[in-house]
Structure 1
Amino acid sequence: MRALLLALIMLNAGLYLWQRYDSGYQEVSEAMAMPAVKGNIVLLSERAAAPEVLDGARDPELVTVSSINTDLAPPQNTVAPTAPLECWLLGPFTTVSGGDLPAGLEWRREEYERDADYWVYLGPYADVTAASAISRELKRKGIDSYVIRRGELNKAVSLGVFSDARRAEKHQQRMQSRGYGADIRKISKFAQRLWLVLKAEPDSEIYRSGIAYLKGQAGEGQTVEKKSCNRIASYKEFD
């Protein structure tokens, strides 16, 4: 009887242990099947090995950083382009006048060719002696000439100076027909004149007041003209 009671107790204890073991196995299985949640530590090797887990539970901090990077894209240039400048001028003047100028206006000085002479000549020669010999020969033939002793045509023989280019060419042809290879040299005469120049943005106050000032300063033979705004060293560069 005592042996039977001991056997029943051992059987009940074995059944209890078997039920506890089966329950623990189910808890472990369920825990292993649960998806990763925020706060769990996941190794890089585990991330690479289980991309489906990352897709199912994307880290919100990573999404936030991605959004911030998109928001920090460089802004587009919104600066409005400036209007091109316009240039107007009035002149010519021989002297500066009018006192202080309004904003946008300035004086420009120009050196220009006032007129020119056309020099018909022979040479230049190696020295004054050779030039003098040619001059004496010409005089014996009744051709007016003299030796030039300075300047660009030093040691040449002058056959005449003309203010008109066509007259100079006709004299050159006459000398060539007589066996003398005459040349023509243009000798320019320069002078200076002044122009009053406005450079400003159209429709600006400086532009409007500048145009009004130029028109008020215009005199006989002077007009207000629109010109190119390229760098101005002389009046010719306005054309």
Structure 2
Amino acid sequence: MTPPVELPSSLPSLLLVSERDTARRGAEISAHQDRQLAELQAQQVTDIFQRLTAPQGNAFIMKGQPAPKPTAATEQQAERNNCYEAGPFVDQADARRWSNAEHIKAFEVVSKELAMSADFQVYYPAAKDAEQARINKMMLKAKGFTDIWTVMDGEVKGALSLGVFSDKQRAIVFKAQLAERGVMAEIRQRTKTRSALFIRFMQPQSAAARNISYVRLPLADCETR
């Protein structure tokens, strides 16, 4: 018996839905893997190029070599490089007592002029010209002020002094009394200078920081003396 002959069919073969989905996922996974492989290869090329072109200094850093640590002598020297000043002191004996209490063995005594509070002066402001000054003085005498004298120097030169007080509150009271009599006076604090002793010394910053009486100076102030 002759077997039947199968004629080729022009119809497309049937594809199940599950087969289609499986094929699609396979294509996506393959494409993703291809992209990852391409990125990995590109990164490897970049890393090789950077290592070849990196300067020698970076190579030292990449090796993780630790930076040299400062020695104890270096740290101690850095602490010694601090210049300080303390004072004022009444005399050298007073400075010596203070330095002994602070365990400061080496120091230098320095004399400086200090501006100290002296008193409080009540005055009538200076006139613009000599004629106005004469009129002001006549006006004050007419009000019963006899102890008047002209300030000859300083920032209120030409003013008429009406009184000097050691206590500021008394000067304020006197000024108020003058205002009640129609005299608009002012108050200034006068100063005087006196010599005072200070000491300069080298001290570690960690020790000096605990004492607020220390004043730090430029290092040259201790080295050049």
- Structure-2-length-normalised TM-score: 0.50
Picking from 89, 93, 96, the partner of 1:92 is 89
Distance 2:196 2:188 in 1: 25
- CA-CA distance at 1:128 after TM superposition: 2.5
Partner AA of 1:231 in structure 2: L
Match of 1:201 among 199, 204, 209: 204
- Deviates further, 87-96 or 154-163: 87-96
| Aligned amino acid, residue 114 of structure 2 | Y
1:150 corresponds, among 153, 174, 177, to 153
Q: Displacement of 1:118 after TM fit? A: 1.2
Partner of 2:29: none
Q: Which one scores higher on RCO, CA 8 angstroms, separation ≥ 6?
A: 2
SS at match of 1:230: strand
Aligned 8 A contact 2:85 2:217 in 1: no
TM-align CA RMSD? 4.0
One-letter amino acid matched to 2:191: S
Query: Equivalent residues in 2 for 1:34-183 (5 A)?
Result: 69=59, 75-80=66-71, 81-82=75-76, 84=79, 89=86, 92-94=89-91, 104-144=106-146, 145-183=148-186
- Which protein is bigger by CA-based radius of gyration? 1
- Deviation of 1:106 after TM superposition, in Å, equals 1.8
Which segments of 5 or more consecutive residues in structure 2 lack a partner in the other structure? 1-51, 97-103, 219-225
Change (3 A) 1:134 1:93: same
**Letter in structure 2 aligned against 1:227:** S
User: C-alpha displacement at 1:88, in angstroms?
Assistant: 7.7
Q: Contact conserved, 2:86 with 2:215, CA < 8 A, in 1? A: no
The CA distance in 2 between the partners of 1:153 and 1:202, in whole Å, is 45
Who is 1:227 aligned against?
213
Corresponding pairs, count: 145
2:85–2:198 CA contact under 8 A, matched in 1: no
Change (3 A) 1:229 1:190: closer
Unaligned residue ranges in structure 1 (runs of 5+):
1-61, 204-224, 233-239
Q: What residue in structure 2 maps to residue 29 of structure 1?
A: none
Identical positions, percent: 24
